[in-house]
Amino acid sequence: MFAIFALFLFSIVFASDKNNVNRTDLKCTGYAIHNVSLSGYYPVFGTDDKRNHLDDRGKELKTLQDYLDGRARYVTVAGNLKSGISYGTNICIEKLNEQFGRQILLQVCNYIIEQKDKLEWISASKLEVTPEQIKAKYEAYYYTEAEVFSGCNLKLIRSDKVTQDLTDQHCQNIIEAESKHSDLIPAKYEGGLKIWECTFDLGQYILEKEIELKDKLVMDLGCGAGVIGLLSLRKNATVHFQDYNAEVLKSVTIPNVVLNFYGTIITTKCEFYAGDWASLATLLDESKKYDYIFTSETIYNPDNHKKLYKIFKRRLKADGVVFVAGKTYYFGVGGGMRQFENLILKDGCFDVKSVWRSQDGD
C-alpha cells in the first residue's frame, strides 16, 4: 500500500549497473542524464487494493525503507516520460548517497508526467455541519472500531468504502487520484483519505506525556480522518479540524466525529475548515487563537512550508505550542523536518525543540 509523492527534480542522475551498490564510496558510475524528475513511494494505511502497491508491470513496489532494512535489492522510483529512461533502468544519485551515507540503488519501474502549469489551490472555506450529518447512522461494515492508541478505542470510517462512494459520485479529484494509483496530486488531492504513520506517533506522544487539553482551543491541521482531533475532543478540548479537501471532511472527518461523540459536542466544540493554508490564514477569526496546533505529515512538500509556517505565526497564542510530526526526509519530494526547522529558526520567531524521535524509520 503506497503513495506516490510529488515530483523532485534532480540536476544529474546516472544510469548505472548494479555494481554501484558494492562501491565503498558514494560516487556513481554510468552515463549522466540531466534534469530528471523522479518520484519515490511511501507505504500508507487503509487499503488492500493491489493496484496501490504494484508497478506498471505488476511487480511489487519497493520503498526506501525496505532497501535500508535489507528487504529489497533496490528502491522503486517513477521517472518522467520525457527523460527517455526505460523500464528497469538502474539509477544512482550521488546527492542521495550522501544523504544516507551509503550507496542507494534506484530502479525506474513507473512513469509520471511532469506538471508545468501553475497550480491553482482551492480557496479556504468553513464547512457548516448539517442536521442530516449529525443524525447520520452508519452500518457496521462501513467503519472499524479499534484501539488506535494505547487505551484509546475509536470508530473510524473505512477509507476504501469512502473512496468507492466518492468515485461513484463522480468526484473528479478522487477519480484522478485512483486512476494514477496516487495519494497525492498537488493542489487537487492531498492524501486526506489515508492515516499517515506519524499520526500514530503524535497521538501516542500526547497520551504518554499527558498533555492537558481540557478547555483548550486546538487545531488539527491537515487532519484527514481527524484522529488527533478526536483524541483532543476526548480530552475535553474544543477542536477545529482542517483538511485541504472538503470531500474528505464531509465523507470521513465529520462522520468520524459523529461516530465517536454526541451531536451537542459536534455543534458546540467543533469547527471544520477546507482549502489551502494561504487563504486559511486570513479566513480564520482574528479574535480566536490556538493553544495547540497539531499537524502530522504535512511537511513533505517544501513549496508549502511557508504557508504552513504562516498559520503558526498568525494563529497561535503567545504561550501556545505547535507539535509537528514528520519524517527527517521525504524521499521523492525533497521536504523534511530539518528543512522546515531551518525555516523556523531563520525567522527567529519561535523556539524549536525536538521532543521525540524514532530510530525505526527516517
pLDDT, position 107: 85
Q: What is the 3-state secondary structure (H, E, C) of 111-130?
A: EECCCCCCCCCCCCEEECCC
302: which DSSP letter? G
- Is 322 within a domain? yes
pLDDT tens-digit map of 296-316: 999 988 889 999 999 999 999
For residue 324, report the phi and psi dihedrals to the nearest 5 degrees.
Answer: -110, 120
Helix runs in the chain, H state only:
64-68, 94-100, 131-135, 159-168, 172-179, 197-208, 227-234, 246-248, 254-260, 263-269, 277-283, 305-315, 337-347
Question: Could you give the count of Cα atoms lying within 13 Å of 134 in the half-sphere of its Cβ?
Answer: 12
Task: Domain of residue 23: give its range.
Answer: 2-112
Pairing label, strands 31-39, 8-16: antiparallel
Predicted confidence at residue 9, as pLDDT, reads 43
**Domain contains 308:** yes
Residue whose entry in the numeric block shows the C-alpha cell 482542517: 242
The answer to whether 127 touches 274, Cβ cutoff 8 Å, is yes
Task: Collect the ranges in the chain with pLDDT lower than 70.
Answer: 1-22, 33-37, 41-57, 79-84, 110-117, 331-334, 359-362
Kindly state whether residues 226 and 155 are assigned to the same domain.
yes
Number of domains in the chain: 2
CATH number of the domain that 183 lies in? Answer: 3.40.50.150
C-alpha neighbours within 13 Å on the C-beta side of residue 199: 22
Task: Tell which of 89, 112, 135 closes a domain.
Answer: 112
* Pair (129, 172) in one structural domain: yes
- 36 shares its domain with 82: yes
Q: Is residue 357 part of a domain?
A: no
Q: Which residues contact 68 (CB under 8 A, 6 or more apart)?
A: 100
Of the three residues 83, 112, 141, the one that is the final residue of a domain is 112
Residue 51, C-alpha cell as written in the block: 493496484
197 within a domain of the structure (yes/no) = yes
Q: Provide the grid cell at 222.
A: 491537515
- Identify whether residues 69 and 144 lie together within a single domain: no
The pTM for the full model equals: 0.72
pLDDT confidence of residue 3: 39
d(CA 168, CA 49): 17
- What's residue 317's pLDDT? 96
292 and 155 belong to one structural domain: yes
Same domain, 80 and 129: no
Residues 46 and 179 occupy one common structural domain = no
Residue 44 maps to a domain: yes
Q: What is the pLDDT of residue 331?
A: 65
In angstroms, the CA 339 to CA 142 distance is 39
Residue 159 and residue 217 share a domain: yes
Task: Pick the last residue of a domain from 67, 83, 112.
Answer: 112
207 and 84 in a single domain? The answer is: no
With respect to residue 184, please indicate whether it lies within any of the assigned structural domains.
yes
Is 203 part of a structural domain of the chain? yes
193 located within any domain: yes
3-state DSSP assignment of residue 313: helix
Q: CB-hemisphere CA count at 13 Å for 12?
A: 8
Same domain, 184 and 264: yes
Query: Pick from 39, 274, 8: which is nearest to 180 by CA?
Result: 39
Q: Are residues 169 and 202 in the same domain?
A: yes
Are both 276 and 307 inside the same structural domain?
yes
How many CB atoms are located within 10 Å of the residue 66 CB?
18
Contacts of 169 (CB under 8 A, 6+ apart): none
Could you tell me if 28 and 14 are in contact, meaning their C-beta atoms sit under 8 angstroms apart?
A: yes
